[in-house]
Structure 1
Amino acid sequence: MSDQSSQEGTNQTVLGEPSLKSHGTCGPRTMDLQLAWNDLDDLPDREVVNMGLDWLIHDGGQWEAGAFKGKLKGEMVLDNGLIRRHFSLYPDGATIEYQNVTRGESLIRSIRPEAMISVNGTCYTIGGLRGLQEHGYLLRKWIPYLTADPGAFHLYGFSTNSIKERLKWKKVRHHAPGLAWPPRGIELVFNYNRDSIPGLDIEVHYELHDDIPLLSKWLVINNNGSGPFIIDSFTSEILAIVESTSVPQGDATIARVPRMIHVESDYIFSAMSPEVGNVTTCWDVDPLYTSQVAYHGDSKVLLESKPPIGPGRELQPGDSFHTFRTYELVHDDWDRQRRALAKCRMYRMIAPWVTENPVFMHVTTADPANVRQVIDQCAAVGFEMVILSFGSGLNMEWAGEPEYIEEYKELFDYAHSKGIEIGGYSLFSSRSVGPVDDVIPPAGERPTFGSAPCLCSSWGIRYLGLVRKFLQETGCDFLEHDGPYPGDTCISSDHPGHSGLHDSQWNQWQAQAGLYRWCRERGIYVNQPDWYFLSGGSKTGMGYKEVNWSLPRERQVLLARQNIHDGTWEKLPTMGWMLTPLSVYHRVGNWKASTLEPLSEHVEWYEAHLAQNFLSGVQSCYRGKRLFDSPTVKKVVEKWVQLYKHHRDILDSEIIHLRRPDGRNLDCILHVNSRLEEKAFLAVFNPTSARATSTIEIPLYYAGLSGNVCIVNEKGECMVRELDEARRLWLEIAIEAKDRTWYVFKQA
């Protein structure tokens, strides 16, 4: 058994001749490490070439990822000019430096194993080096004198390739222009084995992306032996991170400042936020870091990426096990807005399907005649998709009835004949299907939503099959999946899809993510109120409270605009849905004052919803039985749909948060995208009951604009203004009561 404490031995720095011997004699050698290292190109000096360029606004190509030869013997470097990860090849594989190139700073202060696994009840480290005496900083001159851990899996080969697609994306609808799939970059694979465990081969995969300080990592465990292995647990990333603040005593979390690295994985559930739903990124104390300022050694400065339980996977001979993928986005500034833009760029790259943003309506009935009328209305005003909402009567679990399939195929064919995509709602979690097939939680625990089926029970397996059958045989374009698998564990030993507690979470997540990957491969759009984007999901809730749609209409509008402002700090506007209650949503409080029906009697509030949703680039669930009830209302809906489609690419772009809505003053947002002709779009709202005038600072740096810019108002009138050195200008804007306006910015 190998553990972290064994790294120090006698706690003395090893001073001897640097070892160039590679470990591991069993299994095939993919290449000779020394010869392969000699064949690498030297690390280029990119700091001078890219000086003054900003990856967030300049076109790609300057920051191409590659694998290079480092300055030390046997040192390999993954580099794209923005971040740089250094590895030793001898005497074993290890990360010996991780640089934020833009800031000229190191992210790590010590060396840890590349990963850890528990197999058949025994823990092993993957790679790593021993002998460091200090863990608060790391000097390059110490590296050649470090030794391999004899109990670890040892590096015996590596290979490089371009990044491969991790799932197939069938492009069937509008999405952001210029997106590459798979993303551009390099994949580096290190191969490890251990003499005492013949047949078990570990691949440590890295992907470094072009044009963004983003790296991903995962493991592949191969059984090339003659007997099975049990993968009890794994830790696929271990980094001794430089602390962002030092607190000698007391609760360090109170003084916590943002870290310069954002970490998340695709193993995530039960949240509309990556921070809330992140169950794999663990910040823990580092017992080896004895020189830290904290008297009790309790600074959370050791980063590990691992599942909370399991996977408990039995690996048969010839099989391979792939862990989840961990994504590491390195920030180059403390500014909240810049960090938000960086996250949005990351999602554009690693989940580009989230930029699909169809204009849809939620119809509250499945009556074919009513649905056909809604389809006709959508086609008439430019809506693109119809969703048979919750409570409509659609039940995908009846897909086993041929007549049911035929009924909906006929209806969906009619929608397609009108150029309208169509789909529906299905509920998985937050309900009980019976004691045999519900999750059975460990003693003292409850399911996330109080009760839930097990996705790996007989019922759960049948449910997934019926949903797939319905989607495929009806020609369905859309799945609204409520209560996706939320992470519940299950101790049942009778469910056919898992053997017990330790594999229950992993297997259920795999089943859920597998459904979304299947949908993505077929061009089926997925709404899911959880953060399943990296598994193929399309959209989650922007972040609102459902009963707020029973508040008076005027309050709904302002609160919704606050929701959009707050929800787009960590999401592209295309990643979150809002709701517009054409008909009643929740019958609580004074709900009659909340609904927009009859639409012609409340057209001003209907238009307020339409305007702020489309001007924000956010699609809303327009929930009811019709989109318009008069020529006047139809004209209003058409107006905003046409405006959105005319400026679609910029409105679907990242948001600069200028003024949060407060009901007392003008509030505004600014869309920016330096890669478009329309490089910025300003939307300004007046929530007050009187005409309001304000001079607003417009920062256009992230729009990529400089010098003279052309500003086009909503009437199509253009004025030319010169930006200052910080690429800003000031606009005096006057808006009538309860109204709004907008401006488009181009390079003059």
Structure 2
Amino acid sequence: MITCLRSTDWLINNQSFKASVDHVGSRLFLTNGLISRGWKLKPNLACISFDNLMTGEPLLRAVKPEAEVTIDGKNYQVGGLAGQSDLAYLTESVIEELVVDPSALRLSSWDVGRPIARFVWPKNRHHAPNSDWPPKGIRLSFEFLSHDPYFKLTVHYELYDGIPALSKWLTIENHGTRPFVIDQFVSEILALTPYEDPVEWREVPITPPNIHVETDYAFGGFSHKNSSRHSIHWLTDTDFKTQVNYDLQNPCLLHVKPPLGPNQDLPVGQTWESFRTFELVYDSTDRERCGLALKKLYRTIAPWVTENPLILHVVSTDPETVYRAIDQASECGFEMLSLSFGSGINMEDNSDINYQKHRAFVDYATDKGIAIGGYSLLSSRRIQPDRDNIVNPKTGETGGQTHGYCPALASNWGQTYFRLLRTFFENTGFLQFTHDGSYPGDIDAAERLPLQKGSTDSQWVQWQIITDFYKSQREKGIYIRVPDYYYLSGANEAGMGYREVNWSLPRIQQQIHTRQNIFDGTWQKTPSMGWMFVPLTQYHGGGTDATIEPLEDHLDHYEVMLASNLLQGVQAVYRGLRLYDTEQTRDMVKRLVDLYKKYRHILESDLIHLRRANGRTLDYMLHVNSTLAEKGFLSVFNPTPDLIEQEIHLPLYYTGLTDSAEVSCQDQPPVIHRLDRHFFIELLVEVPANSYTWFVIR
């Protein structure tokens, strides 16, 4: 259900929703017309409102501290007010009766500014138009002082223009005369209105409040749910005595914190910073609308994910093979060539011969307009000496990690590994990196001084090591593919989500799986955030029935695989030795790439999910973007052996069109369609057997 008026729907036109800070008496409000967060400044700072202005609903039911920190074993509550008896709702009279908690840190000052870039994004390749970095909006900071030890804690907020989303983080400065240890922290505490409140507790999960929360402390998953499980904790609130659930098991209290630590030493005069929390308020429970909102969030807080280069992944480092592949990539309109797993590339080889060989590839490719990159494996391997692998805290031995084994990033081997990677990129000029088996969040029980004390700080330390590396690559303009959720730390792309052995299935099955994977993956990823796979040569077995080589013998399948990815805005791992073997093959590849580039911006826009591939009927999805001249792009696939003619009930709400639409089939003269009162049109499509067609909507 869409709950806001179409004329002010921020997913169609968000230009009027500007972030601001309003100071009214003893109250302070952070608002952008979509959401509002409010604080009472006296007698101490306390968040007293968090409102969904799109629906008119208050989200906050009770006052909690702004944050909590434990320093040198002592717990400090940051701000907040006490005295609320019924934690089910907040009224003005209740707010006025709240009193200071004498043990809490007191607000000393507040400041307003503009959002600050978390790191540099050089914008050195194609990306979505109007991508701002840092995001436009406003920053609000609250400072608190403590005198034993003497430190300043600052709570930072950023509210962004045009989206119901904000971010929050903490910094701590040591102003004293001795170092201290930051043992633990909770950077966000919100007592929110329950989404549901069942009477009984039968160990059936209760849905938490309808708000999206994730952090950049994210690893160990292809989805935000899996990767943010380390930091996002929906807890029961035992102080909420009036909830309907008799066992007080409703998960309506949000705590954002790491599972362990960070257990970080803070020397005198230095500043420590927490991870960032991002909160997106939904105005609906509709899956499509929530997905569009989430993808808008990623485009706002991680706009580098809209970079979407066409990459040929070559399984050889033989110079003759690589040079030929560079020539073909350039001729067909590809933009990068990556030396893939199985190619023999070794970025850990610091010999001059290795650097010179790969630098020669870069020099040759640069003249052809092609960037060069390559592959390295981190996790899921056991390195030597064995003590440099992560030690399992449950067994005291190496092994038993997420990927079986994982090198310890704070070990001598780990530090050498990252130094070798940095040196390789500096000496070769590579501009693409595929980092397989990235750090998945494993706890390391070993002491690895001076970087790591043991279990309690190991996850934090290793997260900092890996994300510092990715941020440095982002700053150098390197395109980063990581099969994990490191988007908010600089990575461009993770897997769309597929089972690797499926690429050993017969070719026709791969076509269906490709479009199913894209349909499923793009509910919460933009098309450019997830890579797919096209095995030009054999991968995970399957023999000749599973591969496209020789390319000319399977030209129809090759074309459908290209179209299944490119016409849905998705890049695949085109993995093999070449892009074409005949002029006919070359012309087909170039035709599809030219079509993709002609409509690139709309094809890289977000997808409306209409019909998932099932192998029996037409399957189709619709790209929409109300800010472009091309408002929509519909791709339709027919996986059956028969021609299909069918009328499609096509929803155009998110194109921004209101009365009529010009619809052109494969660049033929357009036909004008009138939109009905629900913004649908009826579109007659005819798709040949085992083929596809496409339409542009203006």
- TM class by smaller structure: over 0.9
1:153-210 Cα distance to aligned partner (Å, 9 max, x none): 1111000001111110011111001111111000000001234x24211000000001
Is residue 56 of structure 1 aligned with residue 11 of structure 2?
yes
Give the match's secondary structure for 2:77.
Answer: strand
Structure-2 residue corresponding to 1:489: 443
Distance 1:252 1:78 in 2: 38
TM normalised by structure 2 equals 0.97
Gaps of 5+ in 2: none
Of the candidates 188, 202, 220, which is equivalent to residue 270 of structure 1?
220
1:630-669 Cα distance to aligned partner (Å, 9 max, x none): 1111111011000000000000000000111111111100
Q: CA deviation at 1:259?
A: 3.4
User: What does residue range 74-113 of structure 1 map to in structure 2 within 5 Å?
Assistant: 74-113=26-65
Q: CA deviation at 1:592?
A: 2.8
Distance 2:336 2:204 in 1: 46
Number of matched pairs: 691
Q: CA deviation at 1:252?
A: 6.2
Work out whether residues 206 and 250 of structure 2, in 8 Å CA contact, stay in contact via their aligned partners in 1: no
Distance 1:673 1:259 in 2: 29
Structure-2 residue corresponding to 1:449: 403
Amino acid at match of 2:265: E
Distance 1:286 1:343 in 2: 27
Structure-1 residue corresponding to 2:160: 209
Structure-1 residue corresponding to 2:474: 520
Structure-2 residue corresponding to 1:310: 261
Q: CA deviation at 1:726?
A: 1.8
Of the candidates 454, 459, 462, which is equivalent to residue 505 of structure 1?
459
Work out whether residues 209 and 252 of structure 2, in 8 Å CA contact, stay in contact via their aligned partners in 1: no
Q: CA deviation at 1:69?
A: 2.2
User: What does residue range 552-567 of structure 1 map to in structure 2 within 5 Å?
Assistant: 552-567=506-521
Work out whether residues 528 and 540 of structure 1, in 8 Å CA contact, stay in contact via their aligned partners in 2: yes
Q: CA deviation at 1:68?
A: 0.4
Of the candidates 652, 667, 672, which is equivalent to residue 619 of structure 2?
667
Amino acid at match of 1:551: L
Work out whether residues 487 and 509 of structure 1, in 8 Å CA contact, stay in contact via their aligned partners in 2: yes
Structure-2 residue corresponding to 1:647: 599
Amino acid at match of 2:430: C
Judged with a 3 Å threshold, the aligned counterparts in structure 2 of structure 1 residues 301 and 233 are, in CA distance, closer, same or farther, namely same
Distance 2:294 2:143 in 1: 31
Give the match's secondary structure for 1:300.
Answer: coil
Structure-2 residue corresponding to 1:417: 367
Of the candidates 132, 142, 158, which is equivalent to residue 84 of structure 2?
132
Give the match's secondary structure for 1:740.
Answer: strand
User: What does residue range 74-473 of structure 1 map to in structure 2 within 5 Å?
Assistant: 74-195=26-147, 197-251=148-202, 253-254=204-205, 256=207, 259-278=209-228, 279-398=230-349, 400-434=350-384, 435-444=386-395, 446-473=400-427
Work out whether residues 265 and 280 of structure 1, in 8 Å CA contact, stay in contact via their aligned partners in 2: yes
Amino acid at match of 1:491: A
Of the candidates 581, 600, 610, which is equivalent to residue 552 of structure 2?
600
Which stretch shifts more, 337-346 or 727-736?
727-736
Structure-1 residue corresponding to 2:483: 529
Distance 1:470 1:536 in 2: 19
Distance 1:715 1:738 in 2: 21
Structure-2 residue corresponding to 1:636: 588
Give the match's secondary structure for 1:534.
Answer: helix
Amino acid at match of 1:277: S
Identity between Structure 1 and Structure 2 (%): 44
Gaps of 5+ in 1: 1-46
Work out whether residues 59 and 675 of structure 1, in 8 Å CA contact, stay in contact via their aligned partners in 2: no
Amino acid at match of 1:663: G
Q: CA deviation at 1:108?
A: 1.2
Amino acid at match of 1:234: F
Distance 1:463 1:397 in 2: 7
Q: CA deviation at 1:250?
A: 2.5
Q: CA deviation at 1:717?
A: 2.0
Work out whether residues 712 and 718 of structure 1, in 8 Å CA contact, stay in contact via their aligned partners in 2: yes
Distance 1:484 1:151 in 2: 42
Q: CA deviation at 1:59?
A: 4.6
User: What does residue range 577-596 of structure 1 map to in structure 2 within 5 Å?
Assistant: 577-587=531-541, 590-596=542-548
Amino acid at match of 2:80: G
Q: CA deviation at 1:76?
A: 0.5
Judged with a 3 Å threshold, the aligned counterparts in structure 2 of structure 1 residues 653 and 447 are, in CA distance, closer, same or farther, namely same
Structure-2 residue corresponding to 1:721: 673
Distance 2:94 2:6 in 1: 31
Give the match's secondary structure for 2:672.
Answer: strand
Distance 2:310 2:608 in 1: 23
Give the match's secondary structure for 2:337.
Answer: strand
1:393-449 Cα distance to aligned partner (Å, 9 max, x none): 101001x21221111111111111111011000001110113221111202483111
Distance 2:68 2:204 in 1: 27
Distance 1:443 1:574 in 2: 39
Structure-2 residue corresponding to 1:9: none
Q: CA deviation at 1:368?
A: 1.1
Work out whether residues 596 and 605 of structure 1, in 8 Å CA contact, stay in contact via their aligned partners in 2: yes
Amino acid at match of 1:513: T
Q: CA deviation at 1:693?
A: 1.8
Distance 1:690 1:508 in 2: 55
1:532-572 Cα distance to aligned partner (Å, 9 max, x none): 00000000000000000000000011011100000000000
Distance 1:192 1:144 in 2: 22
Distance 1:283 1:214 in 2: 19
What RMSD, in angstroms, separates the aligned Cα atoms of the two structures?
1.4
Distance 2:372 2:394 in 1: 43
Structure-2 residue corresponding to 1:616: 568
Amino acid at match of 1:426: S
Give the match's secondary structure for 1:337.
Answer: helix
Amino acid at match of 1:548: N
Distance 2:381 2:606 in 1: 37
1:324-346 Cα distance to aligned partner (Å, 9 max, x none): 00000000011110000000100
Work out whether residues 201 and 246 of structure 2, in 8 Å CA contact, stay in contact via their aligned partners in 1: no
Distance 2:521 2:28 in 1: 40
1:223-280 Cα distance to aligned partner (Å, 9 max, x none): 0111111011100000001100011113364453x73210000000011111111121
Work out whether residues 193 and 209 of structure 2, in 8 Å CA contact, stay in contact via their aligned partners in 1: no
Structure-2 residue corresponding to 1:28: none
Work out whether residues 458 and 495 of structure 1, in 8 Å CA contact, stay in contact via their aligned partners in 2: no
Amino acid at match of 1:371: V
Q: CA deviation at 1:318?
A: 0.7
Distance 2:375 2:652 in 1: 41
Amino acid at match of 1:379: S
Amino acid at match of 2:12: I
Distance 1:729 1:313 in 2: 59
Distance 1:630 1:331 in 2: 51
1:479-509 Cα distance to aligned partner (Å, 9 max, x none): 1000111101111113542121111110110
Q: CA deviation at 1:711?
A: 0.7
Of the candidates 575, 580, 585, which is equivalent to residue 529 of structure 2?
575
Give the match's secondary structure for 1:520.
Answer: helix
Work out whether residues 106 and 145 of structure 2, in 8 Å CA contact, stay in contact via their aligned partners in 1: yes
Distance 2:509 2:537 in 1: 17
Distance 1:606 1:51 in 2: 42
TM normalised by structure 1 equals 0.91
Distance 2:68 2:395 in 1: 30
Distance 2:450 2:414 in 1: 10
Give the match's secondary structure for 1:156.
Answer: strand
Give the match's secondary structure for 2:686.
Answer: strand
Structure-1 residue corresponding to 2:577: 625
Distance 1:607 1:523 in 2: 31
Give the match's secondary structure for 1:436.
Answer: helix
Work out whether residues 252 and 299 of structure 1, in 8 Å CA contact, stay in contact via their aligned partners in 2: no
Amino acid at match of 2:629: E
Give the match's secondary structure for 2:387.
Answer: coil
Give the match's secondary structure for 1:397.
Answer: coil
Distance 2:403 2:47 in 1: 41
Q: CA deviation at 1:732?
A: 1.5
